[in-house]
Amino acid sequence: MLTQTTEYALRVITFLAAQTACGKTPSSGDEIAASTHNSRRYLQQVMRNLTAGGLVESRRGTKGAIY
């Protein structure tokens, strides 16, 4: 059984993989949060862990982080 955080991280990775496959990168934090049906605050926590693990890259954008 997966934890809620793990499930959410998998949804984020799946979303980002689909965006990459369609040639649409980078994605904003707001876009990811809306598409994966979670809060922006929780997304930041999950993305911090995914970035630290080397699974995603992030950079600062004018309206927040870009992944």
The domains found in the chain, sorted by start residue, are: 4-66 (1.10.10)
Count of other CB atoms within 10 angstroms of residue 64: 14
SS3 39: coil
pLDDT, one tens digit per residue, over 42-66 is: 998 999 999 999 998 888 777 666 6
| % of the chain with per-residue pLDDT over 90 | 45
Is the pTM value of this prediction over 0.85?
A: no
Q: What is the pLDDT of residue 63?
A: 65
In which band, very low, low, confident or very high, does the pLDDT at 6 lie, cut at 50, 70 and 90? very high
pLDDT above 80 for 39:
yes
Nearest to 63 by CA among 32, 36, 38, 35: 32
The token duo for 50 is 């995914």
